[in-house]
Amino acid sequence: MRTSVIGIGLVALTVGAAAQAVGQGLTFDARRIGMGGLTLGRSASLVRYNPAYRAVPEAADRRGRPRVTIPIPLGIIQFLHDHPHLSTDPAFHPDSAGFNPILAVNTLLNLPIYLEVKKAPTPTNDVLFRIGKNELRVNLGAAAQLVPEDQFGFGGSSRVLDPGLAIKGVRVSVLGWLHYDLGMQLGDTLLAFLRDSVPAKDSTGYSVLGSGIAEGGFAPTISYAGRIAGDSSTGLYLGGALHYYLGVAYARSNVTAGFRTDSVIFGGTNPATPFGSGLTSYSKPGNAFGHGVGGDVGIAWISGPIELGIGVNDIGATLTWSDTRQDSVFYRDTSFSKPVANHVSTTTKLPVSYIANVTYTVGKTTLGADVLNTGRGATVHVGGEQRLGLIAVRGGVARDQRKRIEFGFGGGVRLGALGLDVGFWTHTNSLSNERGVTMATSFSIY
């Protein structure tokens, strides 16, 4: 079976770009987009990653967070206008000669929620293939720069629901937690073949290394958040939480997959033979729970116009799973797996996440910055808002998980309890090295 030389490459491109998109996060607030992704005020991220913020009163939040933000999805209108018959549009159907994989991938990476005012141009170069009896070489030209050199992927941890009781800053709760992570890295030979146009060698393996984990469970938690000094206008807040993690299920896989070229690449009818192998470990629901202990700490300082905070989550959160099954998996013509061990003990580790934030308000000007790391690299947002009567002007800069700089700017008008905001944000989510520009619009109810 002829295998996907560039199929693997395209998957790599797609997942790499997807990781970038996920890293930048989906944002439905035009105010936030206008500030390069920065949130001024009490955002979900602050409360999630800094337990001290549970004690910071809303009164300390001077930025006027809207009660409700309603996105205006102009991008959907644009998309449906461009593709009125989506179910039959050949560009999205792999069976069609008009199938456009790049358009499909770019649509996935840039969900058409907001208006794309400048599409990121795809490279416009020729791509050259050299084919001989024992020769295969690909020159992707400028498109080769889209092939990721380093490991790429996406992941993080999230917390779902956290019902509990609180008395005088002490809270007892049970939170649900999830952790997922998917990473891929092109092997040296495949990377050189795709990116550096190195000729394929006969009898040589070209592979992608992949790893993934997904786990979830719940955690009885006792936490504390309170002001330890000062008053409501100037105060120091401290928070902490101790979790006893109970893992319900997990699965982890490390796989090497790719293809091996024939002894003479085009000497027969099968120039490349696919292969795959790896180790999968899992503990299904119903097996013994995974057990582990971890904690969160956070501190926030409010002093007049200045607000500072630092929070760290899931410190030391290593779970031990006592009833794990391990299978080795293979692919050669057909896939099969073989048990390696059962009822063995394995461990997993939740990523340490952190956030640091600062805001400064003077008059009608608010400036802020935050650094957020959910386990796969830090994102940085710096921005501000200037109010001029009914009008607000905003701007910001962000650095995403792949260390690319993006820019945001925008504005809004607020009439009493209603606001209309517009924000522009550059992005490099597409299969392109150049930035596109998205225009977001949203209503806010204060």
Partner 1 sequence: MRAKWLWMTWLAGLAAACGEGQAIFKVDVYSFLKGTGDDTIPYFVQPGPPDSASSTPRRIDLPGAGSSIVDSVLVNGKVNFENQAGTGTIGLQLYLDSTAAGTLNSSALALTVPDANVSGNAPTPDTIIGRLSSNVISLLAGKQVWIRFKAKGSNSGLVLLQGNAVLKGLRLTVVMNDKFF
Binding site for partner 1 (CB under 8 A): 1-7, 9-10, 13, 94, 97-103, 121-136, 138, 140-143, 266-269, 271
CB of 98 vs partner 1, minimal distance in Å: 7
Task: Please provide the DSSP assignment of 306-357 as one string.
Answer: EEEEEEEEEET-EEEEEEEEEEEEEEESEEEEEEEEEEEEEEEEPPPEEEEE
With a CB cutoff of 8 Å and minimum separation 6, the contacts of 284 are: 249, 325
Tell me whether residue 124 or residue 335 sits nearer to partner 1 (CB atom): 124
Distances (CA, A) of 387 to 283, 302, 334, 381, 443: 54, 22, 64, 20, 17
CB of 142 vs partner 1, minimal distance in Å: 8
The residue with tokens 């902490």 is 240
Provide the token pair at 95.
């069976």
CB of 207 vs partner 1, minimal distance in Å: 15
Tell me whether residue 9 or residue 183 sits nearer to partner 1 (CB atom): 9
CB of 144 vs partner 1, minimal distance in Å: 10
If phi over 0 gives left and psi between -120 and 50 gives alpha, with beta otherwise, what is residue 277? beta
CB of 267 vs partner 1, minimal distance in Å: 8
Tell me whether residue 147 or residue 225 sits nearer to partner 1 (CB atom): 147
If phi over 0 gives left and psi between -120 and 50 gives alpha, with beta otherwise, what is residue 153? left
Tell me whether residue 8 or residue 397 sits nearer to partner 1 (CB atom): 8
User: 119 and 102 in contact (C-beta within 8 Å)?
Assistant: no
Tell me whether residue 3 or residue 438 sits nearer to partner 1 (CB atom): 3
CB of 194 vs partner 1, minimal distance in Å: 10
Question: Is the CA virtual torsion 211, 215, 220, 223 positive or negative?
Answer: positive
CB of 442 vs partner 1, minimal distance in Å: 31
| CA atoms within 13 A of residue 150's CA, in its CB half-sphere | 9
User: 23 and 377 in contact (C-beta within 8 Å)?
Assistant: yes
CB of 328 vs partner 1, minimal distance in Å: 25
Coil, strand or helix: which one is 434? Answer: coil
d(CA 194, CA 145): 9
How far does Cα 281 stand from its chain's mean position?
24
Tell me whether residue 130 or residue 284 sits nearer to partner 1 (CB atom): 130
Beta bridge partners of 290: 247, 321
Tell me whether residue 42 or residue 119 sits nearer to partner 1 (CB atom): 119
Tell me whether residue 140 or residue 367 sits nearer to partner 1 (CB atom): 140
Residue among 115, 111, 116, 90 nearest 101 (CA): 90
CB of 187 vs partner 1, minimal distance in Å: 17
Tell me whether residue 197 or residue 320 sits nearer to partner 1 (CB atom): 197
